[in-house]
Amino acid sequence: MYRIGIGHDTHRLEPGNGLWLGGLNIPHTQSAVGHSDADVLLHAMTDAILGAAALGDIGELFPDDDPRNKDRSSSSMLAIASDRIKKAGWNIVNMDCVIFAQKPKILPHREGIRRHVSDLLDLDINQVWLKAKTGEAVGPIGEERAIAAECIVLLETQPAFNKT
């Protein structure tokens, strides 16, 4: 059996000293604002896998009104969500993600992000894809007031959980 999930996240940007994207701290003149480390990509991935497995969402698992989640690493959130779906009998087949940002350019960081995510989720790097789109200087993304990400994931049941 297969299931598809989609995740989305958006964060406001403000002057700062870099962005957390895909578990890496990317040099930039701005930072994303959030209760955790505000990594929009890992938040979208977390929601995608939880949604595909019908196991809730990032807000249920890591509510922003819980002080334990203040400045929490989004890598740890994704790892916890991954463990949860595996215990429920699901494996990730692949993920396809988009970061929406006018700046910084994502291409120089793409392979590092893919490697971090594939290592974190115990996947082959070819199961994780990432691309980026600018806002073409239009709206909150293009005016560099916000950053967003989307992720779609395909899950399959683990062989031990398949019913024959």
pLDDT (tens digit per residue) in 19-72: 999 999 999 999 999 989 999 999 999 999 999 999 999 999 999 888 888 889
pLDDT at 70: 87
Q: Is the pLDDT of residue 160 over 50?
A: yes
Rounded to whole angstroms, the maximal C-alpha distance in the chain is: 56
The radius of gyration of the chain's CA atoms, rounded to the nearest angstrom, is 16
Find, among 142, 139, 112, 147, the residue nearest to 128 by Cα: 112
| Domain boundaries defined on the chain | 2-161
One-letter amino acid at 126 equals N
Find, among 4, 2, 11, 10, the residue nearest to 152 by Cα: 4
Residue with tokens 């400045």: 71
Residue 40: what are its φ and ψ, rounded to 5°?
-60, -35
Split at pLDDT 50, 70, 90, the class of 163 is: low
Please write the tens of the pLDDT for every residue from 71-129: 899 999 999 999 999 999 999 999 999 999 999 999 999 999 999 999 999 999 999 99
One-letter amino acid at 128 equals V
Whether the CB-CB separation of 105 and 157 falls below 8 Å is answered with no
**Residue 1 CB: number of other CB atoms within 10 A?**
10
Q: Is the pLDDT of residue 159 over 80?
A: no
Name the superfamily (CATH) of residues 2-161.
Answer: 2-C-methyl-D-erythritol 2,4-cyclodiphosphate synthase (3.30.1330.50)
One-letter amino acid at 68 equals R
Q: What is the pTM (predicted TM-score) of this model? A: 0.94
Find, among 61, 41, 47, the residue nearest to 5 by Cα: 47
Distance CA 65, CA 107 (A): 34
Q: Is the pLDDT of residue 164 over 50?
A: no
Q: Please state, for a pLDDT cut of 70, what percent of the chain lies above it.
A: 97
| Residue 108: cis peptide before it, omega within 30 degrees of 0 | no
pLDDT at 67: 86
Distance CA 142, CA 111 (A): 24
pLDDT at 162: 61
Residue 130: strand, helix, or coil: strand
